[in-house]
Each structure stands twice: as structure tokens, then as C-alpha cells.
Amino acid sequence: MAAGTGSGRTVSATFRPIRGWLLLPSWAIIGFFMVIPVLLMLVYSFLTKEFRGGVIWEPTLAAYDQFLFDRGLFGDEPPTIEWAYITIFIRSILQATGATLLCLLIGFPTAFFIATRPAHTRAIWLFLITIPYWVNLLIRTVSVRFLIRDNGPLNDFLLALGLVDQPLGLINTNFAVQLGLFYSYLPFMVLPIYAAVERYNFAFSEAASDLYAPKWTILRRIVIPVVKPGIIAGCILVFVPSLGAFLAPDLLGGAKTYMIGSLIEEQFKGNAGNWPFGAAASMILLSMVLVVLLFYARGQSREGA
Amino acid sequence: MKRLTTTTAILALAAGAAAAEGELRVYHWFEYMPQELVDKFEAETGIDVIIDTYDSNEALLASLKAGTLGSYDVAVPGDYMVAIMAGEGLLDTFEEGELTNKANIEDQWLNAPFDAGRVHSIPYQWGSTSVSVNRDIYTGDTNSLSLIFDPPEELKGRINVLDSQGEVMALASIYLGIPQCSQDRDQLRALDELLQTASAHWASFGSDIAKDVLVSGDAAAGMIYNGFSAKAREEGANVEYIYPDEGYVVWMDNVVLLEQAPNRENAIRFMDFLLQPENIAQVTNYAQYAAGITGAAEFTEEALATSPENNPREGAGPGVFIEVCDQATQEVYDQIWTRLRS
């Protein structure tokens, strides 16, 4: 960092005249792949649905109304709160939270372990963490399915050892989804925490220890506050994709109950063909993610001040 | 998938040299066309075949409506979807005499209710959708759709259901003895209630996994297509395909000529190729359904003619096509379907 600051001024001076042009690719990519699609979704969520997919260009709040209010099977009863979608959202939030906590529980010690290895072996440990991720997420999720199914190796092993007398029945449960999410996103937790712990100066711990601080206190009062940005970054990186995941619920949960991702997918790809509703659900999901990120940003800036 | 990649790889290699005859873009179901047949067509015509796959009629419709119309020449929708797609203006019409082998279509399929006079489509395969049970687990003698809608103790929590609203609603209606697409409110409520109760005993929803879960033992019973069940049996699962007392769903998949097909001429050649009995029989042998083409039986494996999956038992209820519901009923169906999964 320090080395870069010195030369920073000259570099920026050199590039100042063309800075706008240099930023152009970034702006183009952000605009084309993020701003335009999100705006499109926003507009679609306020349009009238066309039967069997598509939209009619007449503005309406029907999609958001459908999300919030239940008007009975035939749509003519007085509106009450629609629990179906709220249930799906709550289920997704719980799953994502569970996956995040599980990742943190396993990821933090793992990151700590790697960061405390001799410098020349750290790269190998990190390399080992990333190996499974060379394989496509779909394949890895299917593999988990094969592992935990009733006639799969895990149950065969437990049965052979006599630890259980019938298969655990893990497949097609919320637990299986949880396991899949945890497995899919674990490195997203390990890597940022590792980056934070690696920069941690262990002299602090030694100093605290010399002052008779118990290990738990050192962890709680010194280590965790210092590596907190890494922990928060890891949590966000796990929580956000878990929230919208649909592969794990589909393949490990048996697609029996929807998570937000599967609900949205169904609106565009499945039977329902209700694009405005899918767009509205996406916007609600997006708003939720934004709220989480805003809290994070506020926390960060307060610490900075 | 492997097929897709091989085809693409071959295409990539041949891209520079060949391509004189152009290409054919097929939008197809999974596990439904043997590679040898694709190779044969390519060898006979010099046309490069590119295949993409989908896993439900609705996914096909959604994709075409979302903007892939114009990138494919032919697709293979099921019966009711042919009618829907024609209504949506997604299908092109054959010109008189354009299909040389059109006369090979069996009489019973020539005036199909979903495409009168066969102006958009030709038969691909037809079969049925019903229920299979694992005979190692369930030994009872029930031949009713109650196997999934009111399952016996040993099947509870071990049932896979096709992730296809049309098929689930149709079979549930058949089980209840109510007409498909019923607009009667009491009947619709009964349908809703039945599915809510039954789904508590279901383990999973999935179409492409329907065979695999029976073979692996993840499921002990499942809603499934007859040929897919035959394949499960071939792969070693002790499964029996049930032709229920109440009746079952009959379907026919059809090759349709898509509107804005980039290679319309090649699409016609492909259809003429599939209308030849010896060619379509290869699909039948691979997928274990039945072709709707005169003379195909000569080229199909003998076992197929007598297989339990292809021959409804004495006393089974009638096979019926899935009907296309009007918007109001469809919206009720959509609600029931979402409630089922929430």
C-alpha cells in the first residue's frame, strides 16, 4: 500500500486527460449488464401480464398486489394477507442465514488455520480450498445428491458401521438444501476472512496474553474486531447468493418447496408464465439485498468516522 | 448433454469446410433422439444439426416467447402445446405437397385434434403418463391413481411427481373423476384440496429425474412417462408401470415447423427424414415409446410390441389427451400450483 502511494500522483496525472475514456469500458459493462436489465425488470414489474408469458404495455400494480394479498382461489373474495410468498421469502432468508452461520462457523477457523501456516505453505492450502470449485456448481450439487441419497455412500457407510439401522433420509429435506448452500459458498467465506487474518499482527495477541488476557477475551476483544471487515464481507458473499439460489433447492430439496430463486424461475420458465410477477418478486429480493448492504455500508462508514 | 457437445464439437471442426448445405437448429427434449440418427441425417444430407434441449413444454414456450423464436427451425412440443403454440402464432404452415412423405402418417394421427390436417406438425412419438411403483417396496395390488394421490403407508414420503403442471392437474382430475379444465368451483376446490393433502406425501417434483430416482431408490413410486419407466426397468429397477382404473394421460410429441425458421428448407428435409419408417423407428427403439408412422413397426424391436409399458392392461381406464384450459381456469391452476410449493 505504502509503496503505491508515492507513485500514485504521477500515475494519476499521466492518465488524467483520458480518465473518462479509461472508465468507459467499466461504465459500459455496468450499464449494459446491470443498469439496463434492472430497469427493464423494474418496468416489467409494473406492466400487465400476458396470458402464457409476455407483457402487455398497460401499467398496473397487479404483480405487487398478487404478492401481498390473497383474494381466494377465484380472485373474488375480500383481500387478506397472502402468506404463500411471504412463507417462501422467510424460508429463503432462514436458509440463507443458516448457510451463512454454518460457513462462518467452519470458515473462520479454516481461514485462521491457513493464515497461521508458514508463508510458503499458505498458497497450497488456498489452492486446496479452491480445487472443488474448478468443477461446475451444477455437477457439485448433483454429486452432493449422490453422496447423501438413501442408497448413497454416506448411508451405506453409516449402515455398515452399524451407527444407524436405516438410512438417514437426508435427501429432499431442508437440511440437504442447507448442506448444499454451505458447500457451494464456503470459499466465499474463507477467502475474505483469510485476507483479513493474514494482515492481522499477532503481536497484539501476544501483548494481550502478556497482560493475562484469557484466550477467549483475546479472540473476542482483539482478533474479531480487527478481522471484522473480512467476516462481514464473507457473510455478504455467502448470504446474497444463497438467498437467490435455486439449484440446491431443486436438486437437494426435491423442488418440493420453492425458495425465492425457484419462485422467480417458475414465473419465467415454468407453467405460470407470469413475467410481471417474476419481475416484482425479483425487485423485492433486490430491495432486501440492498437493505442488507446499506446496513453494512452504514456500519462501515460509522467505524471509519 | 454429451450429445450436444459432440455435435457442437463436430460442427466447430466442420464449420470452415462444410456448411454448403447449411445447418438445422433443433430445439428438443432431453434424452429423446439417438445420436446415430442425427449422424445418419447429417451423412445423408450434409446438413449440420445443432440441438438444444428443454425439460418441459412450458419451458419451450417460455423460451420462444422470450426471444429465441427465429433461432430454431424445429421443436418437439407435446399435443396440447402444439395447439397453444399455433394459437400464439409461433408455428409456420406447410405448403401443399411440401412434405413428400406426409402420406406415411398413420390415419389416426393425421387429423389430430391439436393440429387438424397436420399443417404445422408431424408425429414424433406418442405414449402415456401414469404411475410406476417399485415392486420391492410396494407389493399391494392397487391399480389406482390413489398410489400417488392417497398413497399406501409404504409409499408415503417416497413419491416423485413430474414437475409439469399440465400432467399433474390432468391426472388429479382423472382421479377425482372431474372433467379437465373444469370451471365448476366445487370441483376446483376439491382439486385444490386433493393436491394439498397428497403433496404432503410427496418427496420431490422433477421431470428429468423421474427415471433416475426410481433406479436409485430415492423414490419408491413416481409419476412417469411409459417409455421412461421401461428404461428404468431396463436399468435394473424392479418397477411396474401401472395403467390405472381411472384412466391416464396420453400424449403425442410432434415435430413442428417454427415461425421465422432460419433454415426452413432443411427443416422440411428433416421432417421428411423422420417420416420414413426406418428412421423414426430408431427413435422408438431408443426412447421406447411408439411412432405414429405407418410401417415403423417393422423396424422396431420386438420386445416393444409386447412390453408392459406399451400395452394397457385389460380393465384400465381410458387414455386422454391433456386439454388446453381457458385463462380463468388456468389462473386458478397456477394458484393451486403455487400453494402446493409454498
pLDDT of res. B10: 47
Average pLDDT, chain A: 89
Tens digits of per-residue pLDDT, B164-204? 889 999 999 999 999 999 999 999 999 999 999 999 999 99
As a whole number of angstroms, the distance between CA B210 and CA A129 comes to 34
> Is B185 close to A52, i.e. CB distance below 8 A?
no
Strand, helix or coil at B250? strand
CA distance A72 to chain B (A): 9
Nearest CA in chain B to A252: B204
Task: Give me the pLDDT at residue B14, please.
Answer: 46
CB-CB under 8 Å, B65 with A54 = yes
Confidence of residue B81 (pLDDT cuts 50, 70, 90): very high
Q: Is the pLDDT of residue A96 over 50?
A: yes
d(C-alpha B204, C-alpha A257), whole Å: 9
Average pLDDT over residues A171-194: 93
Q: How confident is residue A2, by pLDDT bands cut at 50, 70 and 90?
A: very low
User: How are beta strands A80-81 and A69-70 bridged, if at all?
Assistant: antiparallel
Q: Residues of B annotated as binding site for spermidine?
A: 31, 80
CB contact under 8 Å between A270 and B66, yes or no, is no
Please count the residues of chain B: 342
pLDDT at A303: 64
Give the H or E element holding residue B27.
strand B23-29
The secondary structure of residue B16, as a DSSP letter, is T
| Residue B162 half-sphere exposure toward CB, CA atoms < 13 A | 25
A67-72's contacts with Cβ under 8 Å and 24+ in sequence apart are: A67/A277, A67/A280, A67/A281, A67/A284
Q: Rounded distance, CA A165 to CA A158, Å?
A: 8
> Residues of A with CB below 8 A from B332's CB?
73-74
Phi, psi dihedrals of residue B221, rounded to the nearest 5°:
-155, 155
* Strand, helix or coil for residue A66: helix
Say what the pLDDT of residue A273 is.
Answer: 82
Shortest CA distance from B338: residue in chain A: A84
Residue A157 three-state SS = helix
B66–A contact, CB cutoff 8 A: yes
At residue A297, the pLDDT reads 82
Report the C-alpha gap between B164 and B220 in whole angstroms.
Answer: 19
Mean pLDDT to the nearest integer, B126-136: 96
User: What burial class does residue A45 get, using C-beta atoms within 10 Å of its C-beta: 0-12 exposed, 13-18 middle, 19+ buried?
Assistant: buried
pLDDT at A164 over 60: yes
Section A212-235 average pLDDT:
91
Contact indicator for A147, A168 with CB cutoff of 8 Å: no
Q: Tell me the mean pLDDT in the region A100-106.
A: 96
Q: Which residues lie across from B29 on neighbouring strands?
A: B54
pLDDT at B283: 96
A292 band by pLDDT with thresholds 50, 70 and 90: confident
> A155 touching B, CB under 8 A?
no
Arithmetic mean of pLDDT, B313-329: 93
* Confidence band for A293, pLDDT divided at 50, 70 and 90: confident
CA–CA separation, A22 and B204 (whole Å): 51
B341/A contact by beta carbon, under 8 A: yes
pLDDT at residue B20, as a whole number: 58
In the 8-state DSSP scheme, what is residue B74?
Answer: E
pLDDT band of A87, cuts 50, 70, 90? very high
Which of the four pLDDT bands, split at 50, 70 and 90, describes residue B19? Answer: very low
For the stretch B260-280, pLDDT in tens is 999 999 999 999 999 999 999
pLDDT at B37: 97
> Widest CA span of chain B, in angstroms?
64
Query: How high is the pLDDT of residue B27?
Result: 97
Q: Are residues B47 and B266 in contact, defined by beta-carbon separation less than 8 angstroms?
A: yes
> All domains of chain B, ordered by start, with CATH?
2-125+252-305 (3.40.190.10), 127-250+312-341 (3.40.190.10)
Q: Which domains are present in chain A? A: 88-304 (1.10.3720.10)
A43 pLDDT more than 80: yes
Residue type, A25: P
